[in-house]
Amino acid sequence: ISAILNNNVDVVFLDIQMPQLNGIEFAKIIPPTTRIIFTTAYSTYAVDGFKVNALDYLLKPVSYEEFLAAANRALNWYDLTRRSQPNLADAAADSEYIIIKSEYKLVQIKVDDILYVEGLKDYVKIYLDGTDKSIMTLLSMKTLEQTLPQSRFMRVHRSFIVNLSKIRIIERNRILFGKVQIPISDSYKDAFSDFISRRTLG
């Protein structure tokens, strides 16, 4: 799951009967942008498979011809969608809201309400202005960085993305949001300093 969330994975060939977590449950956790081709010995799961946006459904034993046909179907699907749809960053720039999956629910968030995003090991927390509560989701920092409009959000640390319009105080390479101190790491310091210098008077 961690590998899929932290990389741009287009297609997963996924079994259904697995230890700890079955394929249907697994499919509900990973991003909808990752399409699934189920491979299983049980045809009874076919309906459930297509309910979670499966691209194809292969019954074991899978022949090479069936595998190749499914892979080509996935390739054709991506060629069509990439030609007809803008990328995530453009979509977010044109939209006032993003929709994320959190605790088995879809949550709509107003982009301007986002104060900052904190990346943890396998998930991120989105903090909203005016509330101490956060929204947790199994998205990666990389996905959110690419999705949020770059003119309004900046990554300042491996674990933090901030809403530039919400910054009020910067002190000793730290951004202060109330009592929360967000460090500005060396890797992102130059880009952030450039942003600040272009807006600093005197």
pLDDT in tens, 30-60: 887 788 898 888 766 554 544 566 788 888 8
Asked if residue 52 is part of any domain, the answer here is yes
Q: Of 84, 110, 140, which residue is a domain's last?
A: 84
pTM summary value: 0.56
d(Cα 68, Cα 62) in Å, to the nearest integer? 10
Could you tell me the pLDDT band of residue 195, with boundaries at 50, 70 and 90?
confident
pLDDT per position as a tens digit, 72-119: 888 887 777 665 444 544 544 556 888 888 887 888 899 999 999 999
- The predicted pLDDT at position 18 comes to 86
Asked if residue 8 is part of any domain, the answer here is yes
Asked if residue 187 is part of any domain, the answer here is no
CA 46 to chain centre: 27
d(Cα 163, Cα 152) in Å, to the nearest integer? 6
* pLDDT(202) > 80: no
Q: Of 84, 117, 140, which residue is a domain's last?
A: 84
Token digits of residue 174: 């730290």
Could you tell me the pLDDT band of residue 151, with boundaries at 50, 70 and 90?
confident
Could you tell me the pLDDT band of residue 197, with boundaries at 50, 70 and 90?
confident
* 113 and 148 together in one domain: yes
* 75 and 101 together in one domain: no
Taken in order 183, 113, 86, 73, is the CA torsion positive or negative?
Answer: positive
- The predicted pLDDT at position 156 comes to 96
Asked if residue 100 is part of any domain, the answer here is yes
* 68 and 124 together in one domain: no
User: In which domain, by residue range, is 162 found?
Assistant: 89-167
Q: What is the mean pLDDT of residues 132-137?
A: 89
d(Cα 63, Cα 96) in Å, to the nearest integer? 46
What values do phi and psi take at 53, rounded to 5?
70, 35
- The predicted pLDDT at position 86 comes to 46
Lowest mean pLDDT among 12-21, 80-89, 116-125, 183-192: 80-89
Give percent of the chain with pLDDT exceeding 70: 87
Indicate the average pLDDT of the chain.
Answer: 83
How many domains, in total, are found in the chain?
2
